[in-house]
Amino acid sequence: MRPWLILPVLAALLAEPSLPAHAAGAVLVMNSRDASLSVIDLASSHEVRRIPVLREPHHWALTPDGRDLLVGDSAGNEMFVLDPATFEVRRTIPVSDPYQFGFSPDGKFLVVNALHRAQVDVYEPGTYRLLKRFPLSYMPSHFAFAPDGATVYVSLQGSGRLAAIDLRAMDVLWTTEVGLTPAGVLWLNGRVLVANMGSADVAVVNPADGRVERLVHAGKGAHQLFLSPDRKRVYVNIRLEVDSVIALDATTLAVVRRYKVPGGVDDTAFAPDGKLWLTLRITNKVAVLDPDSGQSEFIDVGRSPHGIFINPRAVLPVSVAAR
């Protein structure tokens, strides 16, 4: 072989092979105490890859055009921009304490709750320019948008209040006491539901004036609320009960079923087969709960898994998916 041919041949041998794709879907888990993201193959339920981030990833949001998946690294003060199909990191954006965040339904605003900085920041999607900062005391944690995207409701975990922010006028409409340590927030049938982690209740709040109309008993340490894709059930994730996942009827808010999922349930994602994928903060696992049988299977991930994202159309290289 001629000497000058050696380099291109070596380069070809060492280059990343173009692998055939495996499109069975994948799950991305944010390991908040490991500074990493776990990639789980949806078909085999095995972790196939770890993606390093800077410090402390908690939550995610899909951009309105669906092209980018944002993962917030709150202690790293950075937003990781990933390809939602392959989970490749495309770039990073400096953002102050991006703990929990989401795009308004009309796609006009990105709202970022900076839990440890006691502020809610509103950014312009695309440019990620800060439009307005709302200092809100304290620990803004979860949120829900009104369906028209005009208002965002933010739970202030440290002060027991819920704040309503008018995104068009860029003004705080009201803040109101809703209970001890409010966490998860959900818009449902013209009302705002708030899970009170310091009590056993879910507060039903009138979005117009912040009045608490009703308290629904759920269980000690009610933390997060998720509406099932068929909109028939509200799942409440509970911190301090053995029955740690409670299913409420989405119309009456009556308890219809209780599930035992040990390990500190936090966030939920719904798989196409109807199963619930739950992050377990304390046991460092993901639980896959079949809501019909009540049985769960568990998958090891990194430390303190928090946010979870499922993309049934994610494409993993076959060699990775088969690991």
- Positions touching other proteins (CB under 8 A) are 33, 35-36, 50, 52, 54-56, 74-77, 94-97, 114, 116-117, 139, 157-158, 180-181, 197-198, 220-221, 239-240, 263-264, 281-284, 303-304
Give the Cβ contact number of residue 168 at 10 Å.
Answer: 12
Please give the Cα distance from 34 to 53 (Å, whole number): 9
Closer residue to other proteins, CB minimum distance, 233 or 239: 239
Report in angstroms how near the CB of residue 30 gets to other proteins at its nearest: 14
Smallest separation (angstroms) from other proteins to the CB of 159: 9
Q: Which residue number, 118 or 314, has a Cβ lying nearer to other proteins?
A: 118
Tell me the closest approach of the beta carbon of residue 91 to other proteins, in angstroms.
Answer: 13
Give the position of tokens 């803004």.
140
Q: In the complex with other proteins, which residue's Cβ is closer, 45 or 96?
A: 96
Could you give the C-alpha distances from 209 to 174, 191, 216, 241, 278, in angstroms and in order? 7, 11, 19, 32, 33
Strands 265-270, 129-135: pairing kind = unpaired
Determine the Cα–Cα distance for residues 49 and 37; give it in Å rounded to an integer: 8
- Please check whether residue 104 is in contact with residue 112, taking contact to mean a CB–CB distance below 8 angstroms: no
- Round to whole Å and give the CA distance between 290 and 309: 17
Give CA–CA dist 99/56, Å, rounded: 9
Shortest Cβ 116–other proteins spacing (Å): 4
Q: Which is nearer to other proteins, 21 or 54 (CB)?
A: 54
Please provide the DSSP assignment of 58-91 as one string.
EEEEE-TTSS-EEEEETTTTEEEEE-TTT--EEE
The distance from CA 146 to its chain's CA centroid, rounded to whole angstroms, is 18
**CB-wise, 151 or 284, nearer to other proteins?**
284
Angle at 225 between CA 221 and CA 228, to 5 degrees: 140
Helix (H, G, I), strand (E, B) or coil at 3: helix
Q: How far is the CB of 55 from other proteins (least distance, A)?
A: 5
In single-letter form, the type of residue at position 138 comes to Y
Minimum distance of other proteins from residue 230's CB (angstroms): 31
Minimum distance from residue 128 beta carbon to other proteins (Å)? 12
Q: Which is nearer to other proteins, 55 or 90 (CB)?
A: 55
Three-state secondary-structure class, residue 266? strand
Nearest to 83 by CA among 20, 24, 26, 22: 26
Residue closer to other proteins (CB basis): 95 or 164:
95
Instruction: Report in angstroms how near the CB of residue 289 gets to other proteins at its nearest.
Output: 19
Looking at the Cβ atoms of 146 and 245, the one nearer to other proteins is 245
